[in-house]
Amino acid sequence: MGQSCEQALRELYSFLDGALTVERRTVISAHIDECSECLDVFGFESELRQVIAMRCREEVPESLRMRILEVIQATILEIED
Ligand SMILES: [Zn+2]
């Protein structure tokens, strides 16, 4: 389980950018459906993007991106425990 979580989170940005193949999207969607930890992270990130898109059309600031990565890393560590 830990490994598929790590994979899903690694492909988070590609997933949200629509940059994955249909096959990869299907695998990740199926994983999110049955994994609440990943659902939380994916939900958090896509919500964040919507907020940013509404406020401005700039790229996510580097500091904010680092904080998101920290949250993702923390989640991966929790899962691995
Ligand atoms: Zn997961």
Question: CA 77 to CA 79: how far, in whole Å?
Answer: 5
Residue for token pair 């949250």:
71
Split at pLDDT 50, 70, 90, the class of 23 is very high
Average pLDDT of 6-25? 89
Amino acid at 12: L
Rounded percentage of the chain residues whose pLDDT exceeds 70: 89
Map residue 81 onto helix, strand or coil: coil
CA 56 to ligand 1 centroid distance, Å:
31
pTM over 0.85: no
Residue 77 near residue 2 (C-beta atoms within 8 A): no
CA 31 to ligand 1 centroid distance, Å:
6
Residue for token pair 């907020």:
51
Residue-wise pLDDT for 41-76, tens only, equals 888 888 888 877 777 656 667 787 788 888 888 877
CA 47 to ligand 1 centroid distance, Å:
18
CA 59 to ligand 1 centroid distance, Å:
27
